Amino acid sequence: MDFELTEDQVNIKDMARAFAERTVRPRAREIDKTSEWPADIVQGMSETGLLGLPYPQQYGGVGADYLSYVLAVEQLSRVAMVTGFIVSTNCFTQEIIYRFGNEAQKKKYLTPLLQGKHLATVAFTEPGTGSDPKAITTVAKLKGNSYILSGEKSFATMAPGAKVSVIFAKDDTGRVSAFVVENDSPGFKVGKHWDTLGLRGSGTCPLYLTDVSVPADNMLGEKGKGYDMLLQGISVGQMGMTAEGLGVSQAALEMSVEYAKNRIVRGAPMTNLPTVQVELAEMATKLEAARYLLYHAAWLKDQGKNVHTAAAMAKLFGGEVAVRCTSLGMQIHGSYGYCKDYDIERFYRDAKACQIVEVVSEVLHLIVAQSLIK
């Protein structure tokens, strides 16, 4: 693996960083406070090309690569993790449609997504299930040339801004299939957004499907292969989630160094304290280790390799690093870090999502272990 970024990758990284500083930073605290869907920022990301980075230009994408995608998400998350989360969740959906949609489905649904004309969400998790496909209760019953979907989904990110959803439901064979559902379909209802600890403004809502009629042509890929599609898409989501963790870790490190330099303790900067130096060194070292795990996973994806295990490893370690770095950052800031006037408090709350969203850490351990056993 060549650790040098290409000129295009550097340009995309710099573009995402500039957008985050110029457009996101002035709004970051307000979004966290109100938890309102940041439609203006999403529009800006669309116009900048951040919503279709790793996909071919023939479908409306930028034609970059997956490493560029994680670089951009990292830079956005360094200012506000929710903006990186929006990009990665959208990419999760795009990946499924790109890999498993037919040409008609790509033209109708993927192209507008890559062009940033609208967003999409993925809905798998239900009140009684996490990542177990056997526990899904949402059903899709074939009726003529349509499937009738009924059920409830618990956590659909970006639901207020999404026009389409990829819904996973049990078909008439009892296996899971994936369907592209237009959110304005009769019987499709977006519930009130969850009041979450972090990632506020992500528009995470429950979905209610009551006899929603979906054309049979909107089934993605092979019938009964929905869970396999989910696993492929979720690897891209996990890489994005890891990049978000890198962003908040980097922010925590930068804020902590700056705070410690300017905080005077017994007549000298706080950076003179060995305990603070140890904490800063730990943050920096773990951050770099997590970064290379992620970049390697993205590189493998760009080579056309299976990244199921690599993405799981990156997210498992990256989630731990995000929580640890923001915790140490809070510790360095002391009582000030516990106040909402300091951004470290927001990143501390956001970081926990890195161990929960896109597969909890406990299941990631099992995924990595099973890859070794096999």
CATH number at residue 186: 2.40.110.10
- pLDDT at residue 3 in the model: 80
Active-site residue identified among 74, 126, 279, 358: 358
Helices and strands (DSSP H and E) totals, the chain: 12, 10
pLDDT for position 1:
64
Per-residue pLDDT at 374: 83
- pTM (two decimals): 0.96
pLDDT over 90, % of the chain? 95
Contacts of 36 (CB under 8 A, 6+ apart): 201
- Assign residue 291 the CATH number of its domain: 1.20.140.10
What confidence score (pLDDT) does residue 338 get?
A: 95
Q: Are residues 125 and 114 in the same domain?
A: no
Decide if 211 is inside a domain.
yes
Residues 100 and 186 in one domain: no
The closest of 61, 64, 56, 90 to 12, measured between CA atoms, is 64
First to last CA, the chain: 25
Q: For residue 344, give the nearest of 24, 14, 28 by alpha carbon.
A: 28
Q: What is the mean pLDDT of the chain?
A: 96
Tens of pLDDT, residue by residue over 260-318, are 999 999 999 999 999 999 999 999 999 999 999 999 999 999 999 999 999 999 999 99
Position 130 scores a pLDDT of 73
Strand ranges, E, within the chain: 119-123, 139-143, 146-156, 162-170, 176-182, 188-190, 205-215, 219-220, 264-265, 268-269
Domain hosting residue 162, numbered range: 120-223
Q: Does one domain contain both 151 and 129?
A: yes
Indicate whether 52 and 126 sit together in one domain.
Answer: no
93 and 124 in contact (C-beta within 8 Å)? no
Are 126 and 147 part of one and the same domain?
Answer: yes
Q: Catalytic site residue 222?
A: no
State the burial class of residue 174 (Cβ atoms within 10 Å of its Cβ: 0-12, 13-18, 19+). Answer: exposed
Q: Are 47 and 103 in a shared domain?
A: yes
**Count of Cβ atoms closer than 10 Å to residue 152 Cβ:** 17
pLDDT tens-place string over residues 200-232: 999 999 999 999 999 999 999 999 999 999 999
| Residues of the chain predicted below pLDDT 70 | 1, 131
CATH number assigned to the domain comprising residue 76: 1.10.540.10
